[in-house]
Amino acid sequence: MRNVYYLIWVDIITSARKHHPDRVDWKYSLFVLITMCNALNLYTVYIWLKFFGVISYLIKIDIFPVPILNSATGFIVQFAAPFIVLNYFLIFYKERYKRLIEKYQPPKAKLALIYTFCSIWIGFASMILYGALR
């Protein structure tokens, strides 16, 4: 499983650097994209565990006057923060991505693109299905 994770990262990094060699913010944009996909996947697992009654706990944050900011902050704290730490230390800490690119050759299939689209599609389909069945 770790190899697939690294292959996705190698694919997205090499693809971004190939198609946009002059971009200086590629690390930040890729970090945010993959972290949000990871967080959406974790949220999808949470939705289904909640639907089947296995878990019902969710962190409630009420520090902003606008409810959408509270919800977004709660999502980031509960679902994105673990992947922020994980992705930083496994990929970007001490420029580890350079060693990963040398170790793993970019795959022929567009794994990052497939992972991103599947994460988004399954996440939103699960949210709609959960809302309809609830």
Domain ranges of the chain: 2-133
Using CA atoms of 25, 28, 30, 36 in order, give the dihedral in degrees to the nearest 10: -150
115: its two tokens: 């992972």
> What is the C-alpha separation between 39 and 76, in angstroms, rounded?
8
Instruction: Report the chain's C-alpha Rg in angstroms.
Output: 17
List per-block mean pLDDT (blocks of 10 residues) for the chain, which spans 134 residues: 88 92 91 97 95 85 91 93 96 95 88 95 96 91
Give me the pLDDT at residue 1, please: 62
Residue linked to tokens 């694919």: 11
Long-range contacts of 10-16 (CB under 8 A, 24+ apart): 10/97, 10/100, 10/101, 10/104, 10/105, 10/106, 10/107, 11/106, 11/107, 11/110, 11/111, 11/112, 12/112, 13/97, 13/101, 14/101, 14/106, 15/106, 15/110, 15/112
**pTM exceeds 0.85, yes or no:** yes
Longest dimension (CA), the chain: 49
- SS3 at position 22: coil
